[in-house]
Amino acid sequence: MPAGPLMKEHRIIENMIALLKKEAAGLEANLNLDTFFISQTADFIMTYVDRCHHGKEEHIFFRELEKKNLSKEHSETMGQLMEEHKEGRILLSKLMEAAGRYEKDAEKVKTEALSCLNDLTALYPRHIEKEDMHFFLPCMNYFSRKEKDDMLEEFWEFDRMLIHEKYRGMVKQLEIRKLK
């Protein structure tokens, strides 16, 4: 079943959200922003959450759903999920930008980072619950067994190619940097 792997990925994302909440609590307690943690979080969200997880949703699952005669509710929910994916990207970008200015203006950045962390930790649990409880499983009824199996195979291929894509891109960036 294609929803199974996506829902398993949610459990890993939930673990990261718990860590983001701890970082936010530290900032609320006036601790320093852990810029290393933020950089690791950014990599996790950009690679695992957005490119891998959302990539499979947007480029495989949603693509196949768009071929179906969805109920108004499922169609609206899919649109909401896409908007929430965009919102997560924007929040992460703001968090990364703030963390990059931490050395210059720590107090202001802590406030901005806390706001981004709180928004991210509010967004993802709602988003995951919407997918898990109200979207993925009901939407499986639109597909035949073969269509589900085909999507599952495409998910696995997507995952296999992701690491190559990431590091091929990294090498390209480093090559460009070294040519300067």
Residue 42 has pLDDT above 70, yes or no: yes
Cα–Cα dist 50/2, whole Å: 18
Q: Residue 178: what pLDDT? A: 86
Distance between start and end Cα atoms, the chain: 48
Distance of CA 45 to the CA centre of its chain: 5
36 CB burial (10 A radius; 0-12, 13-18, 19+): exposed
String of DSSP letters for the chain: -THHHHHHHHHHHHHHHHHHHHHHHHHHTTPPP-HHHHHHHHHIIIIIIIIIIIHHIIIIIHHHHTTS---HHHHHHHHHHHHHHHHHHHHHHHHHHHHHTTTT-HHHHHHHHHHHHHHHHHHHHHHHHHHHHHTHHHHGGGS-HHHHHHHHHHHHHHHHHHHHHHHHHHHHHHHHHHH-
Q: How confident is the model at residue 4 (pLDDT cuts 50, 70, 90)?
A: confident
In this prediction, residue 68 carries a pLDDT of 97
Residue type, 141: N
Q: Is the pLDDT of residue 180 over 80?
A: no
- Domains of the chain from N-terminus onward: 3-179 (1.20.120.520)
* pLDDT of 150 strictly over 70: yes
Q: Work out the mean pLDDT of the chain and round it to a whole number.
A: 93
Q: Whole-model pTM? A: 0.88
Residues whose CB falls within 8 Å of the CB of residue 13, separated by 6 or more in sequence, listed in order = 48, 49, 53, 124, 128
- Calculate mean pLDDT across residues 104-123: 95
pLDDT of 161 strictly over 70: yes
6 pLDDT higher than 90: no
Tokens, residue 75: 């169609």
> At 179, is the pLDDT very low, low, confident or very high (cuts 50, 70, 90)?
confident
Task: Give the model's pLDDT for residue 1.
Answer: 59
